[in-house]
Amino acid sequence: MEYTPLGRTGMRVSRLCLGTMMFGAWGNPDHDACVRMVHRALDAGINFVDTADVYAFGESEAILAKALKGRRDDVVLATKFGEAMDPDAPLRRGASRRWIFRAVEDSLRRLETDHLDLYQLHRPDAGTDPDETLGALTDLVRQGKVRAIGSSALPAEGIVEAQWIAERRGHERFAVEQLAYSAFARHAETAALPTCGRYGLGVLVFSPLNGGWLTGKYRAGRTVSADSRAVRNAEHFDHADVAVRAAKSALVEEFAAIAADAGCSLPELALAFALAHPNVTSAIIGPRTEEQLESQLGACAVELTPQTLTRLDALVAPGTDVNPADSPYPRPVLNRA
């Protein structure tokens, strides 16, 4: 396993980060199996674990608490806040000081720890002044409950605004940005990734396998299991749109040919692609099963040649997405007046 600085935080993290969205009711309800996956990842050298309060509404964090007993000091532990914890409770979400102070205590309790190494705003909150959010997070750092703060899915202008506010108001800076990036969804290359590089932010990549498309399990003539995300949430993972599904299915075959020539599996190629970007710190792997975890652990050993990267650029042009809806960044010019 390779290790690299997490931006300018002083923490060194593995280039693969274990994501735990699939731990619990949202994916794998077998707590013992999830604990085994955490232990296997740590034994393989992963020292970076990412979760969120909203993952199975706290169950993922509770599972991690079990898995990290006796090993907490060897892990950079990251969680997130901001997504709705109760659809009927408007105050149990967002980026206000009121909710941040409650959310952090809930996460600390579920994770059974006295501090978080990285606390991240899960999604932008247009209804809250960023100064309020950064001020509250700064107080948590000064109280010793949080070591570093970060954001997720901020557009480039949001990253710049947060840095400007922190400098002018004397707040802690966002030290890490978590963004979507894969060989099929490359929108971050146009602005977000260069902006992160300019400010020296650590970058965590989520969805490097593009919702499972780059694992090879969604291919022509292959039956999809009933418990797959393609069945459970077809619209979100591009299986409901006939045109997008056809486009990605065709590209997967070409992607598989490139992987074969590179001497690696499809998941390994996908993860190696994400890690090849100079501004990417770590790629999040989010296994639901132990088999899926094993299929991804070898990605750090894959070195992509310039020729392979050129072939991938020809497959999906830099800065573009196979499905334009894969970009989380709002386009105000397209909104209704």
Residues annotated catalytic, as ranges:
55
- Exposure string (b/e) for 163-189, b if CB count within 10 Å is 16 or more? bebbeeeebbbbbbbbbbbbbbbbbbe
Is residue 215 a contact partner of residue 209, using CB atoms and an 8 Å limit?
A: yes
Tokens of 196: 């992160």
Phi-psi region of 150 (alpha: psi -120 to 50; beta: other; left: phi over 0): beta
Tokens of 16: 């693969």
Q: How far is CA 114 from the centre of its chain?
A: 24
Is residue 216 a contact partner of residue 256, using CB atoms and an 8 Å limit?
A: yes
List of long-range contacts for 259-266, beta carbons under 8 Å, 24+ apart: 261/308, 262/302, 262/304, 262/305, 262/308, 264/298, 264/302, 265/216, 265/295, 265/298, 266/214, 266/215, 266/216
DSSP 171: P
- For tokens 């997967």, the residue is 252
Q: How many CB atoms lie within 10 A of CB 23?
A: 31
Helix 266-276 and helix 242-262: axis angle, to 10°? 90
Q: How many CB atoms lie within 10 A of CB 216?
A: 20
As a dihedral over the C-alpha atoms of residue 205, residue 206, residue 212, residue 214, rounded to 10 degrees, the angle is: -10
Regarding beta strands 76-81 and 118-121, do their DSSP bridges make them parallel or antiparallel, or are they unpaired? parallel
